Amino acid sequence: MALEPDRWSRWLLERRDAGDERQRSAILDGLAPIRERVLTHAEPLDGATLLDVGTGDGLIGLAALERVGGGGTVIFSDISDALLGHVHAAVARRGLLDRAQFVSTGAEDLAEIPDGSVDIVTTRSVLAYVSERSRALEAMWRVLRPRGRISLFEPINSLMFPEPQDRFWGYDVGAVTELADKVKASYGGLSEPASAAMLDFDDRDLVALAEAAGFTRIHLELHVDVEAGASLDAIGIDALLDSAPNPLAPTARESIAAALTPAEQERFVAGLRRAVQEGDRLRRSAVAYLVASKPG
């Protein structure tokens, strides 16, 4: 498989955690409950053919390999050949290539997946990057067998952004609010235009899209949390500065450099460092789990 890096692979394998192993472990620990809930909602899995759309680094699909058993199949699909190569290597290390397939295709049409060929479709933060979500839900419906089902996880960013003015990535930067405003504004200028799709839908839209696509027995769980602290806190200031919140955005350091003068950068980073050291962070999260079935 081609391994040429792209923005998706660079983010998942490098920019999400700034190459910091401790930060990577913290992120994966935070994602583990999401993986378990998505797969639990997808049960029963034994002997099933599961299509993991936008598989990324294989968070959902790799765990599904054990659950589908020797009689099942996991189809890892993604638009990134580099990530498919990464996951292929991970499956090979497990000695489970006989129950895996790898397909390069977009979520909007799943063009390489035959009609009525899978039992379950899973996603984790995929529709947030898709502007034509109706097409994606219709494609999922098409590839499912009768009585097949979807188990999706999506962040509902529109309920939590923009952040309060005195917060930056959740940290209290009230002492340098005017600088934080400049940095936040630079994110918009440096982020790719496609990132707008991450904020233009909510949980009600997901239900409406699933219903319009033909799904029945639709169930959505919305989890909204605002609390002090978080399992995904940066291990240190450098990991925070050199990580990016998503594949379409700059790192914090890149945004700070673009928005502030050298003197302002020093002042802002000092304030942010103080907040990180004190653990003064407010976690704000809104996520949805969607489960639905195709009529039999």
> What are the pLDDT digits (tens) for 130-148?
989 999 999 999 999 999 9
What's the CA gap between 34 and 20, in Å, rounded? 22
Containing domain of residue 237, as a range?
7-293
What CATH number did the domain enclosing 241 receive?
3.40.50.150
89 in a structural domain:
yes
Task: Report in angstroms the alpha-carbon separations of 131 from 3, 19, 193.
Answer: 26, 29, 11
Least confident of 6-20, 124-138, 208-222: 6-20
Q: What is the mean pLDDT of the chain?
A: 92
The pTM for the full model equals: 0.92
Q: Cβ(230)–Cβ(160) under 8 Å?
A: no
Position 217 pLDDT exceeds 80: yes
Q: Domains in the chain: how many in total?
A: 1
Mean pLDDT value across residues 14-43? 91
> What are the pLDDT digits (tens) for 159-173?
988 888 899 888 999
Give the up-direction half-sphere exposure of residue 33: CA atoms within 13 A in the CB hemisphere.
Answer: 6
> What are the pLDDT digits (tens) for 12-25?
999 998 888 888 88
> What are the pLDDT digits (tens) for 238-278?
888 999 989 998 999 999 999 999 999 999 999 999 888 88
1 in a structural domain:
no
**Structure tokens belonging to residue 47:** 């002997």
208 in a structural domain:
yes
Mean pLDDT value across residues 56-76? 97
Phi, psi of 124 (to 5 degrees): -140, 105
242 in a structural domain:
yes
What's the CA gap between 121 and 142, in Å, rounded? 11
Residue 179: band (very low, low, confident or very high) from pLDDT cuts 50, 70, 90: very high
> What are the pLDDT digits (tens) for 80-125?
999 999 999 999 999 999 999 999 999 999 999 999 999 999 999 9
Q: What pLDDT, on a 0 to 100 scale, did the predictor assign at position 2?
A: 47
Q: What pLDDT, on a 0 to 100 scale, did the predictor assign at position 21?
A: 86
Residues 6 or more apart in contact with residue 86 via CB below 8 angstroms: 3, 9, 13, 57, 58
Separation of first and last alpha carbons in the chain? 37
Residue 232: band (very low, low, confident or very high) from pLDDT cuts 50, 70, 90: low
* Single-letter code of the amino acid located at 188: G
